[in-house]
Amino acid sequence: MDQPADAPASTDLPADAPASTDLPADASASTDLPADASASTDLPADASASTPTFAAFHRMWQDLLPIGRHPRTGGYRRSAWTGADLACREWFRAASAAFGLDVETDRNGNLWAWWGRPGPNAFVTGSHLDSVPDGGAYDGPLGVVSALAAVGLLQQAGATPTRPVAVTCFTDEEGARFGVACIGSRLSAGLLAPETARGLRDVDGTTLGEAMSSAGHDPNRLGPDESALRRVGVFVELHVEQGRQLSALGAPLGLATAIWPHGRWRFRFTGEANHAGTTRWEDRRDPMLTYAATVLAARETARADGALATFGRVSVEPNGTNAIASVVDGWLDARAPEQAGLDAVVAELARRAGEAAGRDGTAVEVTGESLTAEVSFPAEPRRRLAALLGASQVGSLPQLPTGAGHDAGILSARVPTAMLFVRNPTGLSHAPSEFAEQADCEAGVLALAAAMADWVTG
């Protein structure tokens, strides 16, 4: 697989990783907003940027914006099953009710808002509302708000669906609190054992089971959800792009082709706590040194292999300025174009960490915590979307692989899925400054509404 479209240009990817691989020849064709979206999508005639057509989108966006936003950083702290997450869920219930949708919570805590009777062959769209620590406003919420707004556009146009529509909000996509990504969709798809999920712990030692119970959700219900999945005719997830490939191509929207295999590994370095001011160099067993050497090795190893590797989280014991650490836990996030390459990077890094530990008189233990195999999105829903939008005034859409994980990727093991990306002008993501232009968000809503109309009307 080629370089993910969303790896920002400043990463240390090999110089020969082409910036615009996997794209159709006409990827830069005009994708301006339709001046009159009714031509091909049965949408209201005033569906251009900043018109009343999008009032619902902007109202929902503004309502959601303050929830879980940290006053100092401006970033979002919406970890699963925290007060902020529960407030987001309440927001979703109220926003869905405003469109007359019936909201159900499935056994894994995922929310489904139904337009029409829940049943087979549904057009399902949505994303997630939880965030990474100090995440941006768009990663997840853009897909949820756009999905509801698309329902609103069809209702406004007087559409009568002949198949059900569901807007979903998957639980704990980011895995920020319990370490495993896409917990809700993974459980539903049967890709995470319920007993494993219940036992996952956050930094305070609270288990997922306990957190769910406190939030009023029975953790004993967790498990594969065949009846929920049987209803899905297609799942289309709209998401802010997490790179700037679309920007480089001058395209407001794109379609996902694939997701790089990726995962998280905990590297536990153990040494011996001791006095920072009195312990001679030759007497030290400092795990911080081994950790630091491993961080540098991660960059070197991944860079040489065309992969990405990041230590973005660390925990130190006893965490005292004047004490040598006894334990350092560092979490590696690694991603590569292919599974074999990813496995090789992680194995080499474990080897180099062990080598450094031998030199430093420390020990290292490596544990895989969240592993996601490569996803190739199926050709069919993508072909239909590309044809539909290509024939409309939206125009031909670039088709891009991505390095970011998504619920659509997890669900693609079980149901037909597709993803629409909305241009991110800076490429910044998982950060407070994550952004998409209003006109591009509106183009995303129109595209989603067109897809919805195509599947459920006519």
State the residues that interact with ligand GLV by CB under 6 A.
174, 181, 404-405
Q: Residue number with the shortest CB distance to ligand GLV?
A: 405
How are beta strands 102-105 and 111-115 bridged, if at all? antiparallel
- Minimum CB separation of residue 249 from ligand GLV in Å reads 22
Among 42-50, 108-116, 133-141, 318-326, the segment contacting Mn ion (CB under 5 A): 133-141
Residue 200's binding partner among ligand GLV, Mn ion, none (Cβ under 5 to 8 angstroms by kind) is none
- We find the least distance from the C-beta atom of residue 80 to ligand GLV, in angstroms, to be 13
d(CA 52, CA 67): 25
Q: Which residues contact 455 (CB under 8 A, 6 or more apart)?
A: 123, 163, 233, 234
Helices (H) and strands (E) in the chain, counts: 14, 15
Is 49 in contact with 442 (CB distance < 8 Å)?
A: yes
- Peptide bond between residue 398 and the one before it cis (omega within 30 degrees of 0): no
Q: Which amino acid is at 163?
A: R
The CA-based dihedral angle spanning residues 322, 323, 324, 329, taken in that order and rounded to the nearest 10 degrees: -110
DSSP one-letter code for 76:
B
Q: How far is the CB of 174 from ligand GLV (least distance, A)?
A: 6
Is residue 139 near Mn ion by the rule CB under 5 A? yes
Enclosing H/E stretch for 301 = helix 287-304
Nearer to ligand GLV by Cβ, of 335 and 423: the residue is: 335
Tell me how far the alpha carbon of residue 49 is from its chain's centroid.
Answer: 26
Nearer to ligand GLV, 261 or 405 (CB): 405
76 Cβ neighbours under 8 A, 6+ residues apart:
68, 69, 70, 84, 131, 134, 135, 136, 137, 432
Q: Minimal distance in Å, beta carbon 30 to Mn ion?
A: 28
Question: For ligand GLV, which is the closer residue by CB, 44 or 401?
Answer: 401
Contact 206, 231 (CB under 8 A): no
- Mark residues 28-67: x for contact with Mn ion by CB under 5 A, - for none: ----------------------------------------
* Chosen from Mn ion, ligand GLV, none, partner binding at 407 (C-beta under 5 to 8 Å by type): none
Tell me whether residue 97 or residue 314 sits nearer to ligand GLV (CB atom). 314
CB of 206 to ligand GLV, least distance (A): 22
Residue 22 near Mn ion by CB under 5 A: no
**140 binds Mn ion, rule: CB under 5 A:** yes
Smallest separation, CB 80 to Mn ion (Å): 13
Nearer to ligand GLV, 343 or 365 (CB): 343
184 part of the interface to Mn ion, by CB under 5 A: no
Comparing CB distances to ligand GLV, the nearer of 404 and 448 is 404
Round to whole Å and give the CA distance between 145 and 88. Answer: 12
What is the 8-class DSSP label of residue 163?
S
Specify the residue, 84 or 324, whose C-beta has the smaller distance to Mn ion.
Answer: 84
Helix ranges (H only) for 109-244 are: 141-156, 183-188, 194-199, 208-214, 226-230
405 binds, among Mn ion, ligand GLV, none (CB under 5 to 8 A by kind): ligand GLV
How far is 437 from 447, CA to CA, in rounded Å?
15
Q: Report the nearest approach of ligand GLV to the CB of residue 257 (Å).
A: 16
280-339 residues near Mn ion, rule: CB under 5 A: none
Q: Which does 140 bind (CB under 5 to 8 A by kind): Mn ion, ligand GLV, none?
A: Mn ion
Q: In angstroms, what is the minimal distance from the CB of 333 to ligand GLV? A: 7
Binding residues for Mn ion, rule: CB under 5 A, are 139-140
